[in-house]
Structure 1
Amino acid sequence: MNISELIIPGDTPGIEWRLPVLHFAGTSATAPKVYIQAALHANELPGTALIHYLCEHLREAEAEGAILGDITIVPQANPIGAAQSHFGEMQGRFDLASRTNFNRDFPLVTLAERDSLLADLDGQTAVNRLKRTLLHMALGAELVLDLHCDDESIQYAYIDEAFWPEASDLASALAMEAVFLSDGESSAFEEAVGHAFKRQGKETLAQVPGRLAVTVELRGRRDVYPDMAKADAHGLWRFLAARGVVRDEAARLADFTGPAVPLDNIEMVRAVEPGTVLFHKDIGDTVEAGDLLATLITRPGFADGSVDIRASGAGLVATRSSDRFVRRGGDLMKIACGKPTRLDRKPGTLED
């Protein structure tokens, strides 16, 4: 394993950020190259734990000559976000300086324009320099995995339709309970990679065989446990074996049997009033139209002081908020449904 370090100069005197980058050299020129990063949202740590145990597998494989494709890993991709705390709590998702989501505003370039990402970096802010550097590294690979997690959540992923159903092997390997088929119309890291992969020539490709850009949602933010991380690391190892990145003849993958639904089929359940949240359904539950999802206590102690939130259609409860007080319009749940839930969704991400 080769270890290098990226240095990102800070935006104020005396500050710089350092990112360890781990590299495992492959022995086959034809094997796929892989890029994996975790904790771009710095407070989402299941991916960092997964990488810790995955590297144990990879070091053993390296000693046995079983790594076929180059593998580049950034275990903690956002030291800037990791250093930003507010009243003792790491923020991680939004840059306190710009108020921008760390996983938005990645440059959209074609694959041929990859090297332009590193041009004139001296004039870029630390966050923009970080984003450009990460994206440049990722575009040197064919398989790109961005490891995230949700709040309270099942295991699922955002996968551009251009990589589906070929990417069902990853869904199977990581025992995902659902896949959200994205439209590739945002500036998130994974979709910026997909944007380039689909634009390798003059035409925009509808399908990109042999390539993958994916956001993996490794359950919820509190799901950071040794057994989970080891199981996920083993699952990712089996995916790498199935794609010919590592050699493991014993690795086998079953067919993925979970739902794969477009983003138009995701019901975003939001609070109609502010109040205390009492959930009646948990992640992983299936619901029918009209089922009681949550009760909001809006005026405690009053006879008319609560509001019921019900499902508009049938589906699988994929995520749930961990907060038990919600503002008006705040997110409560995502439900993966079998048909579109709204006709006015704008292309792009489901949340900021």
Structure 2
Amino acid sequence: MRERHFSLPGRGPGTCHRVLTLSFGDPDARPHVHVQGGLHADEGPGMMAARQLADRLAEVEAAGGMRGHVTVVPFANPLGLGQVLHGDHSGRFDLYDGRNFNRDYPDLTEDAASALAGRLTDDAATNVALIRAALRTVLAARCPVGPAEALRHHLMGQALGADVVLDLHCDGEAEMHLYTQPAAWDRLAPLAALTGCRAVLLAEVSGGHPFDEALSGPWTALAARFPDCPVPMGCASTTVELRGRSDVCRDLGARDAGAILDYLTHLGVIAGAVDLPPPSCRPTPLAGSEALVAPAAGLLSYVAPLGATVAAGDPIAEITDLESGAVLPVRATTSGVFYARPATRIAEAGKRLGKIAGERPFRDGPLLSP
């Protein structure tokens, strides 16, 4: 195991933050899988899984079991880890400007396409190497200003050369689920089966430029830009939602780390073999995911349990009006798996109350939560 530390400046004079990357196996070996936890710094399950994964990988490496290369960032957002307001941790949005830490990553496609014009070949492997080099060069030419942009720049640089990237998150309360691009699904389907995902949400572009799409998006875009040259999916990247915020314990972390280790074995990163379980769901379009919205303010309670398969018209939640005592039902308008909901039980008008993975696309524009 090799440790690398990256220091980035804080907002004020005399302040700084540090990001740790742990590396296992030959840095030049393939496949290379990059795993990070805690980009939203108030989401503990991913950090627990990443930390325990690193401990397990150290044992595998010491036993001579590494065949590929794995990099692990156990806590990807020290800026957010330091944001504690009146005793509550606030790690999803930068308190300086309100921006989501998992949005606004740079799109390297246009600059990379300009650098690659006339250079791609008839050989897919050669093209993968050329594209990776072009993406690195384009990123290196950017000059981030401020700690949040420096963090985005560093995290992209750590993951840019990987074949597979796992960005570990969680929801308020949720079943296991993941987000990825359609072109990456075949490579990530075994991970969904091994982790027991109840929902898989696919979108070519989900909106907001999140971390995972900044890494995988250029490959699909460049394949479309250069149709006469073979351009494989050089980076399959996904956001993995490890249940809910309160699901932080060493037993769950060990289970998640074990599932990722099995996936690494399936990919050939670790020596051995693994039997894949049957999938727990089939993928559905992110544009078909219904975001339930509170029509009024009040106390929130749920009728449908997480993980339930619901039909359009089924009651999902109830809002109790505190003045009149009236109970207002909130019903599904699509059919699918009820896979996520907030951890709070007080609703304001317009609050998102849950998500249902439906098979029929009906939304456009930005598809992710703010």
TM-score w.r.t. length of structure 2: 0.88
Corresponding residue for residue 94 of structure 1: 93
Letter in 2 for 1:168: A
Corresponding residue for residue 274 of structure 1: 297
Task: Tell me, yes or no, if the aligned pair for 1:282 and 1:320 is still in contact at 8 Å.
Answer: no
CA distance in 1, matches of 2:98, 2:86: 17
The alpha-carbon deviation at position 207 of structure 1 amounts to 8.4
CA distance in 2, matches of 1:36, 1:324: 32
CA distance in 1, matches of 2:28, 2:138: 28
Corresponding residue for residue 250 of structure 2: 226
- Superposed, 1:96-245 pairs within 5 Å as 96-110=95-109, 111=131, 112-119=134-141, 121=143, 124-186=145-207, 187-200=209-222, 202-203=225-226, 208-209=232-233, 211-245=235-269
CA distance in 2, matches of 1:131, 1:256: 33
What's the secondary structure of 2:312's corresponding residue?
coil
Task: Tell me, yes or no, if the aligned pair for 1:28 and 1:68 is still in contact at 8 Å.
Answer: no
Task: Tell me, yes or no, if the aligned pair for 2:54 and 2:72 is still in contact at 8 Å.
Answer: no
Task: Tell me, yes or no, if the aligned pair for 2:170 and 2:241 is still in contact at 8 Å.
Answer: yes
Letter in 1 for 2:42: N
CA distance in 2, matches of 1:45, 1:298: 33
Task: Tell me, yes or no, if the aligned pair for 1:166 and 1:209 is still in contact at 8 Å.
Answer: no
Task: Tell me, yes or no, if the aligned pair for 1:163 and 1:208 is still in contact at 8 Å.
Answer: no
The alpha-carbon deviation at position 27 of structure 1 amounts to 8.1
Q: Is the alpha carbon distance of 1:81 and 1:64 closer, same or farther for their aligned partners in structure 2, counting shifts above 3 Å?
A: same
Residue correspondences, number: 344
Letter in 1 for 2:73: V
Corresponding residue for residue 312 of structure 1: 333
Any unmatched runs of 5+ in structure 2? 110-130
What's the secondary structure of 1:113's corresponding residue?
helix
Instruction: Flag as ranges the 4+ runs of structure 1 deviating above 6 A.
Output: 204-207
What's the secondary structure of 2:187's corresponding residue?
coil
CA distance in 1, matches of 2:231, 2:278: 20
Identity among equivalent positions (%) equals: 34
Corresponding residue for residue 52 of structure 2: 53
The alpha-carbon deviation at position 308 of structure 1 amounts to 1.2
What's the secondary structure of 1:140's corresponding residue?
coil
Q: Is the alpha carbon distance of 1:190 and 1:120 closer, same or farther for their aligned partners in structure 2, counting shifts above 3 Å?
A: closer
Corresponding residue for residue 294 of structure 1: 317
CA distance in 1, matches of 2:149, 2:367: 20
Any unmatched runs of 5+ in structure 1? none
CA distance in 1, matches of 2:280, 2:345: 33
TM-score w.r.t. length of structure 1: 0.92
Letter in 2 for 1:9: P
What's the secondary structure of 2:259's corresponding residue?
helix
Determine which structure has the larger helix proportion and give its number: 2
Q: Is the alpha carbon distance of 1:36 and 1:331 closer, same or farther for their aligned partners in structure 2, counting shifts above 3 Å?
A: same
Q: What RMSD over aligned residues (CA atoms) do the two structures have, in Å?
A: 2.0
